[in-house]
Structure 1
Amino acid sequence: MDPEPDPNPHPPKSWSIHTRQEIIARYEILERVGSGAYSDVYRGRRLSDGLTVALKEVHDYQSAFREIEALQILRGSPNVVHLHEYFWREDEDAVLVLEFLRSDLSAVIADAKRERDGGGGGLLRAGEIKRWMLQVLVGVDACHRNLIVHRDLKPGNLLVSEEGVLKIADFGQARILLDDGNDAPDYEPELFEERSSEHADILQQPETMEAHTAHPEGHNSQEQVAITREAYLREVDEFKAKNPRHEIDKETSIFDGNTSCLATCTTSDIEGDPFKGSYAYEAEEAGEDVQGLLTSCVGTRWFRAPELLYGSTDYGLEVDLWSLGCIFAELLTLEPLFPGISDIDQLSRIFNGLGNLSEEVWPGCTKLPDYKTISFCKIENPVGLESCLPNRSGDEVSLIQRLLCYNPAARATAIELLQDKYFTEEPLPVPISELRVPQSKNSHDEDFPGGWDDYNDMDSDSDFEDFGPLKFTTTSAGFSIQFP
C-alpha cells in the first residue's frame, strides 16, 4: 500500500525572479539583459521612485555570499558597483539589486577598434586611456586596501555608466584575505543563521529576511574618498609602511580551496548544492588536504597570472595586478595581449613575449605546484614587451612592465601606479565627461576572435596535438610534458 501524500509538502524551490512576490512588489522587471550558467541579470525599475536598476539572480549560494560580502565592505567606493539591497531566503536564489550600468570597458575597446578598422580614426586618445586607467586603479586600490582580491578582473567586468564613470563589478570570485594571505576557514551553513545582529550589515539570515537594504556606512564612505589626492596618497603610504592587516571577521569570510576549476565570464565559479558544500565533499573524497588554501582555477585565462597557471594556492592580491597589466595593454593596442586558447598556450604566449620563468627572474618559482610537471624549451630571444606594444611611448611600456612581473612581490600596487608620473605629464587625463561611452555592452562580441563569449570556455586546455610534438619524461611525481 502506497503511503499517503504529505498534506503539507514543502513548496518547490523557485528559481525565477518573476515568481518572487517580495521583489515584484517593489520592482518592475523590464527585460533580461544577461544570462550565464550561474546567474541571470535583468533590467528593472524601482516602483517607489522609477530608478533603473540591475537585478542579478545568482543561482549559486557561495558566489552570492561572496559578492554580497565584498560589496558591503566596499560600499561608498566611487569605482565599485553599488549594491542597493538584496533578497535572499533559504529556499530561493539570492537576488542582488545593483546600480544599472549600460556598458563596459570591453565595449569601449571594441568601439575604438571598429572605428580604427573602418578607417575612421586611430587608437584611443592618450588622455582617454589615462582616465580609464585611473578609474580602474582607484577601484582596485579600494579592494586591496580592504584585503579583497577580485580574481577576475577583465574589461567585461569593468562596467561604465552613461556619464563615463567606471565601476568594478562581479565579485562572485572575490576573497577577503587574512594575515597569512589566505582565506578564512570555510563557514558552516548551519552557523549562517546563528550570526549575531552586529553582523547584519554584511550577512543577512536568509531564512528570516526577505529584503536587506545595504547600510550607508562602509569601509570606504563618500567622506573617505572625497579627500585631496595628496591626503589620499599619504594615507595609503602610511598604511603600506605599517602593513597591518585589517581585522576581518573570520566568520564572514569564505574558504576556497575546494573550488572547481572553472574560469568564468560574468557570474560565478562554483556549482553545487548551496547547503551541502559539494566541492568540499569532492575534495575529501579525493584525499586532498585543502584547508587554508586558495584555488588556482580562477579568473579568465587571458588575464590570469602565471602563478595561477602553474597551480599556486597561496597567492595574494598580486594576481589582480597582473590582470591590470593585461587590461591596460589592451587599452593601448585594442588587442588582447596574451590571447591563449588553452592554459598551456597561455603560458607559451607569455614566455614568448617576456621570456622563460626561472629562479633568476622569480626566486622560488620552481616550488610552484606544476612547475616541474610542465616545462617549455628555453626561449633564446623573447620578443619583449616593447614589441607587444608597438608604437607606444616608453612611459606607457614602463607602466605595463611594472605590472607584468613574474615575481608577484615586484608588481607595482594600485596606489603606487596612481603616483606614477605617467598620469601627471602631458597629455593629461581627460575629464570623465569627455570619455566616449558606447550605448550598450552587447555590441562588441563579434569584434574579437571567437567573441568575448568564448571566455566562458577558458577553463580547460585544448587537445595537446594543437601544440605539435611533445616530449614526455618520467619523473618521481609521474611525468613531465615539454612543449616546443
Structure 2
Amino acid sequence: MDSSPPQQMPSQASSRSWSIYGRGEIIQRYEILGRIGSGAYADVYRGRRRSDGLVVALKEIHDYRSSFREIEALQALRGTPNVVDLIEYFWQDDEEDAVLVLEFLPADLCAVIREAKRGGAGIAVGEVKQWMLQILRGVEACHRSSVVHRDLKPSNLLISADGVLKLADFGQSMMLQETRLTSLDINPENETWIQQQPTIQHEGNVSWPEDPRPENQNMPGPRHVNEDDYMKDLYGMRAKNMMYDSDKDMSLQDGDASCLATCSTGDIEVDPLKGSYTYDEAQDDMVDESGALTSCVGTRCFRAPELLYGSTSYGQEVDLWSLGCIFAELLRLDPLFPGTSDVDQLSKIISVLGDLTEETWSGCLDLPDYNKISFGKVDSPIGLEACLPDRSAAEVDLVRRLLGYNPAARATAAELLRDSYFAEEPLPVPASDLKIPTKEDNNESSPGE
C-alpha cells in the first residue's frame, strides 16, 4: 500500500496532522494505513510494522508535557496485563511532536455500555464482574507503581477482540515519588534530548535501550527535561505512603486471552466506536508559582469532589472516585453524576450523597473553594440505592465504598479485588466470553464525519 497520505486529506486537517508522513525513521519501520482519529493534542493513525505485519496505533502527540507523562507512565507500567502496551516511541531534539507506537485495540468500554443500553437487556452480572476485575487490576498496578491516571472514564478503557481490557491515555497521569526530584538529571541549559531507538521484543517483553550517557545508565525511560513547569507540577503533588498487594496475592485471575493490538481513543475526535453520549473533555493542568497542582484534571462526570472544590493536594484517591462513577455506569448504563458545569456537578453529587460537611469529611473546610460555593441543605438525599434500582446490596456497597467524600476512606483497588462480591454466584465470566461491539454494531456516523 502507498504510505503517502490521500491527496484530499490535508485540506481537511492542519498540515501538522500529517507531519508523521515526513518522519523518515517512522516510515522506514511502519506503513501508515490512515488516520483514525484527531483531538486537540494528538492525531492517531493505524499502521503496520513492516518487519512482521503487526497492526499498531501511531499516536502523534502535539503537547510536550502530555508526551512526557504518557511515555513515563507507560514505561513504568510496561508488561502490565491491563495497561496498554507502549511498543516504542520516537522523540528527537529537533522534533516538536512525539510519536508513540501502541497496541491497536478495536473497542472501548464506552461502546460496551452503549450497546447494552441499546439492546435493553443491560450487562449480565457475570460480565459486569469481569469488566470490574480487569479495571481494578489495571488501576491497582498503576497505584502500586505510584502512577495516578487522573482521567479514568469508559472511553479510556480499551478492549481487545478477546475481551482483554486495558487502561489507556496517560497524558494527564502523574508519578507519586518524592525521591524522583533528586534522581532525575535536570539541567536548564540543555534541550530535551529524549530519543527512543528501535526496541527488541522477546516473548512479549519489551527490551528498552539504555541512555548512552554514563551518568544516566541506571535511569529508564524519558529523563533529561528542562521544562520547569512540568517539574513543579510533578513534585507539587502530595505523595502517599500506601502499600499494595502484589499480583501473586490476588486469588482471581483472568481467563486465557491474548492481548490484541490496541489504540488509545480517549482524545480521538473521529471514532467509529464512539458512544451515544459524550463527556466533557479533560482539561490540561497548569501550575502556579508555588508549584502546586491544579484541580482542573479529569473529565467532569468522573471528577472527585475535592477537585471540584479546587484541591491542589491530592493523590491516588481521585482515581478511586472515578472508579466508583465507572462502576455505577456499568450497572445503570448512564453516568451517575452528569453535571453540565463544575457547580452543577457538585450539586448532583450532593443531591445523591448528601451534604458535604465536617461530619462527613473533617478536612473539607480546608478545600480552597469550599466557602465560595454553597448549596441549600439537603434533608433527604436521593441515595445510591435509588440511583441503582434492581441492583444487589453488594453492588451498591461496592460503589459506595469508592464514592466517599473523605478521600482517605475510599476503598483501594487492592482491597476491592479481594471483595467477596467477585467470589459469589454468578461468577465472573471468562474474558473471552465477553460481548465486544464491532464496527458493524456502531455504524452510525460520528459528529466529526
Q: TM-score, normalised by structure 2?
A: 0.76
Deviation sequence 1:116-160 (CA, Å, 0-9, x none): 1xxxxx110000000000000000000000111000000000000
1:269 is aligned to 2:284: yes
Q: What is the Cα deviation at residue 89 of structure 1?
A: 1.3
| 8 Å contact from structure 2 (residues 280, 300) kept in 1 | no
Alignment partners' CA distance in 2, 1:408 and 1:126: 28
Q: Which of 82, 87, 90 pairs up with 2:85?
A: 82
In structure 1, the residue matched to 2:143 is: 144
Partner of 2:56: 53
**1:442, distance to aligned residue in structure 2 (A):** 9.6
Identity, % of aligned positions: 60
The equivalent residue for 1:131 is 130
What amino acid is aligned across from residue 95 of structure 1 in structure 2?
V
Aligned twin of 1:462: none
| 1:30/1:44 contact within 8 Å kept | yes
Q: Could you say what secondary structure the match of 1:16 adopts?
A: helix
Q: How much does 1:441 deviate?
A: 11
Structure 2: distance between partners of 1:180 and 1:226: 25
CA, structure 1 residues 231+340, in 2 after alignment: closer, same or farther (shift >3 Å)?
A: closer
CA distance in 2, matches of 1:442, 1:340: 28
The 8 Å contact of residues 296 and 308 in structure 1, kept in 2 or not, is answered as: yes
The within-5 A match list for 1:6-45 is 16-45=19-48
Q: Is the 8 A contact 1:311 1:369 kept in 2?
A: yes
After superposition, the C-alpha distances for 1:234-288 in whole angstroms (9 at most, x for unaligned) are: xxxxxxxxxxxxxxxxxxxxxxxxxxxxx9748x826xxxxxxxx66xx4xxxxx
Q: Deviations over 1:375-426 (max 9, x none)?
A: 1111111010100111100000000000000000000000000010100000
Q: Using a 3 Å threshold, how does the CA distance of structure 1 residues 327 and 180 change in structure 2: closer, same or farther? A: farther
Residues in 2 aligned to 1:106 and 1:384: alpha-carbon distance in whole angstroms = 25
Distance in 1, matches of 2:55 and 2:107, equals 14
1:182 to 1:130, Cα distance in 2 relative to 1, 3 A: farther
Question: Which AA in structure 2 matches 1:320?
Answer: D
Structure number with bigger Rg: 1
Q: State the Cα RMSD in Å.
A: 3.2
Distance 2:139 2:390 in 1: 28
Partner residue in 1 for 2:170:
171
Q: Does 1:62 align with 2:65?
A: yes
In structure 2, what residue type is equivalent to 1:72? Q
Q: 1:193-342 residue pairs with structure 2 within 5 A?
A: 193=193, 196-198=215-217, 201-203=220-222, 227=248, 229-230=250-251, 265=281, 269=284, 283=288, 289-291=289-291, 293-342=292-341
The C-alpha deviation readout for 1:169-228, integer Å capped at 9, x for no partner, is 00000000134999999956545449733256311679xxxxxxxxxxxxxxxxx98746
Question: TM-score, structure 1 length as denominator?
Answer: 0.71
Aligned residues: 370
Q: For structure 2, list consecutive stretches of 5 or more residues without a partner in the other structure.
A: 1-14, 195-212, 226-244, 254-278
4+ long deviations beyond 6 Å: 12-15, 180-186, 444-447
- The DSSP-based 3-state class of the residue aligned with 1:128 is helix
The unaligned stretches of length 5 or more in structure 1 are 1-11, 117-121, 207-223, 233-262, 271-278, 284-288, 454-484
Deviation at 1:90, TM superposition (A): 2.3
Distance in 2 of aligned mates of 1:20 and 1:126: 47
Distance 1:135 1:47 in 2: 32
